Chains A and B, each alone.
Chain A
Amino acid sequence: MDNILILKIAFIGASITLLFIGLYAVLTKRNLIKIVLGLSIMDNGLNLLFITMGFVKHGTAPIFSPLVMEKLKTVDAAAQVMVDPVVQALVLTAIVIGFGVTAVALALVLRLYRHHNTTNIDEIRNLKW
């Protein structure tokens, strides 16, 4: 088999698996912290999927450093061999947003724990779930 095909299956497979293992944890786990952990695993899988989709074979990082410019002389030639920078910018945004959501979620977990003295979702049912 071709190297690139193996890479494709490995990257997409790993990211989709992470995504759905996270989703499984969110759907079935009863522990609040485990649920937040599941969310964070989901985010990770999704970010890998984004970066995977921007990859170009033999591509270089999208930075016009002096080293790259020396090798390829012109900007246009260098731009030809670079990976897609847009997905990287999007993932930067997504990682930081994911961190913010995780922090707020954990703060809520802590407050629920102080209030109910448990982190089990079955024992916190003042509202209907």
Chain B
Amino acid sequence: MVAVNPIYYIALPLFFAFLLPLFGKIHKELIRIVPGLLYAYFLGMSFYMLRHVFVTGQPYIVEIAGWKAPWGINLVFDAFTGLIITFISVLAFLVWLYSYRFKKVEFDNALKYFVLLMLVTAGSMGIVMTGDIFNQFVFLEITGLSSYGLTAYYRGRDGAEAAFKYLLIGSLASTFVLMGILLIYTQLGTLNMADIARNIHLMKPSLKIAAFLLLFMGFGIEAEMFPMNGWAPDAYSQAPGPIGAVFASMTSKAGLYALIRLTFTIFDFSSVSKLLFIMGLLTLLFAEGIALRQEKIKRMLAYSSIGQIGLIMVAFSFNTYLGVFAGIFLMINHALIKSLLFFSASYLAYNSPKKYIKDIQGFGKVMPITSFLFALGAFAIIGFPPFSGFWSKFYFLLAAAQKHYIVLIVLILSVSLVELVYYLRVVHKLYFAKPTGDYEPHSPNWNGMLAMILLALVIIAIGVYPDLVTHYIDKAAVMIMDKAQYIHNSLGI
């Protein structure tokens, strides 16, 4: 079949990114339109393919250059990776829509912005779909380098500083990942994930632990895990507004996916679930604690984002069906809601140079719709009932109750209380404080408004009618737990 093929998610953005400078010579508007058309196509393709996988149960496997899996590189679009890819395409389209007229920048800058945007999404999709561990490293670098470029995009801010910090930590991460890959390769003689998973017991135990720790640290950095996430708040706050949403919903999710694939499929899970649990909990507590003290709105959102990553790691570490189910649900919800928050916050704080929370007080009357959408997102992420966030937290608590983790439930509920405090503080400032009047409010463009309203509608739709996604999540959760099925899909044995 020519019209749909998972390879398009990576090959087409690369193809058009290379050609975009030439499109720009034909007509200046094309550099904005071409990525949009591409994302619209991906949107349709993802829904078609996900539906197909869901109905027939047959995943899409691409063998690049026609070589069977252990010999060549393969791409896997199954129930789990397909679901993540679908949500990345939805968000990529919305990010494009939001930034279509985001800034009246010079032509050269707009060109670079869209090229880097296309490549950062292609890189994240590559990390998720590829079945080859070295290929995953290459996509990690693509995602990383385009993120550095986007973080340093604005002149006026401290973007270069944040980007340098990000680059430093990212380079250390990629060194760790490469060392882990080398260890595995010298022991097993293969780079294919399914093949490694099949033969992992053949590795010397000491080398296996070393390789696991190296890979875990490396991908943990990209997923904003606890000790190595100092780069994240700076990158989030210095990058352009929509890119904060990209980091929260795509790159960190891709890193998280790599961690999950690593622990569930490649290495034996039971031995490492404690590590995932402890790191997740530390990430959660550390980030939520710091978020409480933030004075700048984007930094607060960034720390809240890191906290959610911790929560998702804890959910996956339960190693039960319900835990994985809750984890995937949390991943999707977080991607949707945090994007809405970043979108609206970046319009609210548009003209404030330092982006302090106090700068936006009283904007509830000045920018009613944007403020309302921000408040909606805040309530959704805390987990209030009519929104999608409620269901994911509900399933999480259910999973914890099933494991009889009473202390954990109390802890999570109190963390939610902390979230409530710092989000309500902003909402309170928005609606019940007098405007300071130092900054001119900036009303959103129609396209930004449309993107935000679409996101809000999706969040409410999932909240009112969760069956919209739970069927797919159910299949995905079964898929990720089933190591043998993944090996069968990739290698055909």
Name A's B-contacting residues (CB within 8 A): 19, 23, 26, 32, 35, 39, 42-43, 46, 49-50, 53, 86-87, 90, 93-94, 97, 100-101, 104-105, 108-109, 111-112, 115, 124, 126-129
**Alpha-carbon gap, A19 to B175, bound state (A):** 9
Binds A, one of B144-152, B193-201, B370-378, B417-425: B144-152
**Alpha-carbon gap, A109 to B165, bound state (A):** 11
Q: Does B47 contact A (CB under 8 A)?
A: no
Q: Does B163 contact A (CB under 8 A)?
A: yes
Q: Does B14 contact A (CB under 8 A)?
A: no
- CB closest residue in chain B, given A22: B175
Q: With A50-B182, A112-B161 known to touch, is A93 a contact of B152 (CB < 8 Å)?
A: no
What's the minimum C-beta distance from A109 to chain B, rounded to whole angstroms? 7
Helix, strand, loop or mixed for chain A's interface?
Answer: helix
Per-residue contact bits, chain B 154-165, to A (CB 8 Å; 1 contact, 0 not): 000010111111
Q: With A42-B175, A104-B145, A126-B158 known to touch, is A111 a contact of B138 (CB < 8 Å)?
A: no
**Alpha-carbon gap, A108 to B151, bound state (A):** 11
Is the beta-carbon distance between A126 and B164 smaller than 8 angstroms?
Answer: no
- CB closest residue in chain B, given A109: B164
Residues in B neighbouring A26, C-beta threshold 8 A: 168, 172
Q: With A46-B178, A93-B138 known to touch, is A53 a contact of B186 (CB < 8 Å)?
A: yes
- CB within 8 Å of A: which of B165-184? 165, 167-168, 171-172, 175, 178-179, 182
**Alpha-carbon gap, A128 to B232, bound state (A):** 11
What's the minimum C-beta distance from B21 to chain A, rounded to whole angstroms? 18
Is the beta-carbon distance between B182 and A108 smaller than 8 angstroms?
Answer: no
What's the minimum C-beta distance from A32 to chain B, rounded to whole angstroms? 7
- CB closest residue in chain A, given B144: A101
Helix, strand, loop or mixed for chain B's interface?
Answer: helix
Is the beta-carbon distance between A108 and B163 smaller than 8 angstroms?
Answer: yes
Is the beta-carbon distance between A46 and B163 smaller than 8 angstroms?
Answer: no
Q: Does B384 contact A (CB under 8 A)?
A: no
- Max chain A CB contacts within 10 Å: which of B145, B172, B178, B179? B178
Residues in A neighbouring B179, C-beta threshold 8 A: 46, 49
**Alpha-carbon gap, A53 to B188, bound state (A):** 13
Is the beta-carbon distance between A101 and B171 smaller than 8 angstroms?
Answer: yes
Residues in B neighbouring A108, C-beta threshold 8 A: 148, 152, 160, 163-164, 167
- Out of B161, B167, B182, name the residue touching A126 (CB < 8 Å): B161
- CB closest residue in chain B, given A121: B164
What's the minimum C-beta distance from A13 to chain B, rounded to whole angstroms? 16
Q: Does B141 contact A (CB under 8 A)?
A: yes
Residues in A neighbouring B23, C-beta threshold 8 A: none
Is the beta-carbon distance between B182 and A49 smaller than 8 angstroms?
Answer: yes
**Alpha-carbon gap, A105 to B167, bound state (A):** 7
Is the beta-carbon distance between A127 and B165 smaller than 8 angstroms?
Answer: yes
Is the beta-carbon distance between A101 and B158 smaller than 8 angstroms?
Answer: no
24 contacts between A and B (CB under 8 A): A19-B175, A23-B172, A26-B168, A42-B171, A46-B182, A49-B179, A50-B182, A87-B182, A87-B185, A94-B178, A97-B138, A100-B141, A101-B167, A104-B148, A105-B168, A108-B152, A108-B164, A108-B167, A112-B160, A112-B161, A112-B164, A115-B160, A127-B158, A127-B161
**Alpha-carbon gap, A9 to B199, bound state (A):** 28
**Alpha-carbon gap, A49 to B234, bound state (A):** 34
- Out of B167, B191, B230, name the residue touching A129 (CB < 8 Å): B230
Q: Which 3 A-B pairs have the closest CB atoms?
A: A111-B160, A126-B158, A108-B164
Residues in B neighbouring A23, C-beta threshold 8 A: 172
**Alpha-carbon gap, A110 to B174, bound state (A):** 23
Q: Does B356 contact A (CB under 8 A)?
A: no
**Alpha-carbon gap, A75 to B175, bound state (A):** 36
**Alpha-carbon gap, A121 to B179, bound state (A):** 28
- CB closest residue in chain A, given B186: A53
- CB closest residue in chain A, given B151: A108
**Alpha-carbon gap, A86 to B192, bound state (A):** 13
**Alpha-carbon gap, A64 to B150, bound state (A):** 44
What's the minimum C-beta distance from B417 to chain A, rounded to whole angstroms? 26
What's the minimum C-beta distance from B329 to chain A, rounded to whole angstroms? 33
Is the beta-carbon distance between A101 and B168 smaller than 8 angstroms?
Answer: no
**Alpha-carbon gap, A23 to B160, bound state (A):** 22
Q: Does B286 contact A (CB under 8 A)?
A: no
Q: Does B134 contact A (CB under 8 A)?
A: yes
**Alpha-carbon gap, A42 to B191, bound state (A):** 23
Residues in B neighbouring A115, C-beta threshold 8 A: 160
- CB closest residue in chain B, given A111: B160
What's the minimum C-beta distance from B303 to chain A, rounded to whole angstroms? 12
- CB closest residue in chain B, given A108: B164
- Out of A94, A101, A126, name the residue touching B145 (CB < 8 Å): A101
- CB within 8 Å of A: which of B219-270? 230, 234, 238
